[in-house]
Amino acid sequence: DRDMHSDDESRINQFAEAVRNYEILPDGSIGRGDGRVPEGTLRNNLKILTRFARWLRAENRDSMASRFLNDPDSLAVDIADFWASGGDGQDRLKSALSHFRRLAPEGQELQAVGPGPRLMGRQIHDPYPDDALIIDALANEERSKLGSVPNSQKNTSNQRKFSAWLQRTGRESIVSRLTGTDQQQQSLKDDFRAFTSDDGKTGGVGLDRLRQYLGAESQLKQHHPYPDDALIIDALANEELSKLGSASTSKRQVARNVASNQRKFSDWLQTRGRESIASRLNGSDQQQWSLKKDYQDFTEDMGKHTISFKRLRQYQQVVEANAASGLSPEPASGREPAGLDGRSDSR
């Protein structure tokens, strides 16, 4: 048995697809405003619509879809009964139905009702139009490939927030400088540092991903670490990626991000004539202190980056212990490297 009327189920599915495909030009000439509908907002609307549709079926009432135009009075009675039964404790159904009614009769698109705020939900950030166009296009591409990935959604929100801050403080847009001259790209980095200081948070923005989307070379590939650092960084990254299945998208991305941060730090050390990471990881107390001090200088210069010195240090210890024992220098793929006491690293 179906838990809702078939026409309601079909209509709700069409509504979800239409909202996700709702294309809006940055000048607001199509639809209502210049923002995408947040996935969380859509889910909240779908949740209450589905709950109401199931209640109608359970109570042996007619479907929503069959009565929007033909019998709105009886539908209004059922809405009141649903509310009285406690089914709409947060009073969301009225708003959800107002959006639901905008689905065109053929079910392919939403009928616009003139300029104004976005389709549904509050538009918290007001980015530059050229930034909004690229940010939303990238978000759509990643959503189509990966589905709803929290890290991607957070980056999109932070990108819009950063662009809104730039516009509010009279600075140039992200896109106008993202692939520009060295001076323009440096000014963008400086502005991002000022933004994080002003905002009080250090959330990721994914500027490099935007740069790749525009067809420019990733700056992540431009890091030139010390050779001894590159060897251990890449070996550890490969070891950790080999243990993660292809479905572990977010964990694999975290591993890549940490490796990129490590390469970036080593590059920074090399360009400033300071010793490599690997040469000091398991060195004397003074060497380890100097590495810690250099990392503090690096974060002041480049912002906070997760480096995972502990994992690098443990990995280097295992590699050196294996080499001293005549074993393969690298830990066997598919298992945690053993620590000095023989136990695997639990992190």
Residue range 292-309, pLDDT digits in tens: 999 999 988 888 888 999
Q: Is residue 112 classed as helix, strand or coil in its secondary structure?
A: coil
* 57-98: pLDDT as tens digits: 999 999 998 888 788 889 999 999 998 998 876 678 888 888
Structure tokens at 140: 């759509």
Nearest C-alpha neighbor of 204 from the set 214, 192, 194: 192
258-296 per-position pLDDT tens digit: 888 899 999 999 999 999 999 999 999 999 999 999 999
Which has the minimum average pLDDT: 139-148, 252-261, 328-337?
328-337
How far apart (Å, rounded) are the C-alpha atoms in residues 16 and 83? Answer: 23
Which pair of tokens denotes residue 200? 């009080």
Rounded to two decimals, the pTM is: 0.37
Give dist(CA 95, CA 100) in Å, integer.
Answer: 9
Give 304's Cβ-side CA count (13 Å radius). Answer: 7
Distance of CA 240 to the CA centre of its chain: 22
* Helices (H), ranges, 200-273: 207-213, 227-242, 249-271
Terminal C-alpha separation, the chain: 47
Give Cβ neighbours of residue 62 (< 8 Å, ≥ 6 apart): 5, 56, 71, 74
For 260-326, where are the E strands, in sequence order? none
Whole-angstrom Cα distance, residue 278 to residue 270?
Answer: 12
